[in-house]
Amino acid sequence: MEVLPTPRVIYFREYGAVTTRQPKVHTRLGRAAVRIFAANDRMNQLLIEHLDPAVWRAKPPGKHRVRTIAAIFTHMHNVRAKWVRLTAPHLKIRTQLNRARCTPQQARAGLAESASRCSEMLATALGGCEDEGRVEKFHRDGWARPWPAGLEMLCYMLSHEAHHRGQVCMLAHQLGFPLPIAVTSGLWNWEKLWKECGSSGGPGYDS
């Protein structure tokens, strides 16, 4: 059975920060969860990479208080840090992002780091890795009832990030700088996303 190598964050000039090495995982379910979360973060990286700089801190239209795009991405990273801190305290995320000062480059690096730690957390919970048993419950927040570690935690994490990616795409459009069609349609090209994250296979593949 294949064992994936230890996670490592690789910095590519053309892509920015991309997680390509993934945790040691001994189950097919765990390997799939790790690959899925890596592809999920690659979507975030693609959006930031192709956003017009003018929209990063631009005030959204309307009278209601709405997060800026910078605030959305810093929120996504900081929420990941909270999930890891509450669910897998043996894992550490060094970076906290400040919505008022965070640059796109800092957001990309921070998200790559938190994606690596979230992948390790998922591997521990679902993958039968060497830290098996250290993640027994998923804590979304201090106020929320914890869930037994399982696929539900992955679904929750993905839903949270997909929600905010939709906000980013909508805000960029409202601010007059819509993302290119090649980017928004590329979010659905999972085979390409997997390859960019270092996985040769797609659904149903163990490599």
Q: How sure is the predictor about 130, in pLDDT bands with cuts at 50, 70 and 90?
A: low
pLDDT band at 199 (very low <50, low <70, confident <90, very high): confident
What's the structural domain count of the chain?
1
- Supply the pLDDT for residue 1: 33
Is residue 109 included in any domain, yes or no?
A: yes
Residue 207: inside a domain: no
Q: List the one residue out of 162, 168, 167 whose CA is nearest residue 40.
A: 162
* Band (31; pLDDT cuts 50, 70, 90): confident
In a domain? residue 205: no
Average pLDDT over residues 87-115: 94
Phi, psi values for residue 89, rounded to 5°: -65, -15
- Count of CB atoms within 10 A of residue 138's CB? 23
CA angle at 85 for the pair 132 and 25, rounded to the nearest 5°: 30
The yes-or-no verdict on residue 11 having pLDDT over 90 is no
Domain that holds residue 132: 8-196
Q: Between residues 18 and 168, which one has the greater pLDDT?
A: 168
Is residue 83 assigned to a domain?
A: yes
Query: Quick one: DSSP state of residue 15?
Result: T
Within a domain: 206: no
pLDDT for the residue 27 = 79
Any domain includes 203: no
CATH number at residue 100: 1.20.120.450
pLDDT at 13: 40
Q: Which residue has the higher pLDDT, 194 or 84?
A: 84
Give yes or no for residue 180 having a pLDDT over 60: yes
- Estimate the crossing angle of helix 69-87 against helix 104-126, to 10 degrees: 30
pLDDT band at residue 203 under the 50/70/90 scheme: low
Tell whether the model's pLDDT for residue 9 goes beyond 60: no
68: in domain: yes
Q: What is the pLDDT of residue 72?
A: 97
Q: Where are the beta strands (DSSP E) in the chain?
A: 8-12, 16-21, 137-138, 147-148
Calculated CA dihedral for residues 151, 31, 187, 115, nearest 10 degrees: 80
Structure-model confidence comparison of residues 74 and 128, the more confident one: 74
What average pLDDT does the chain have? 85
Q: Is residue 201 part of a domain?
A: no
pLDDT in the model for residue 15: 40
pLDDT (0 to 100) of residue 148: 93
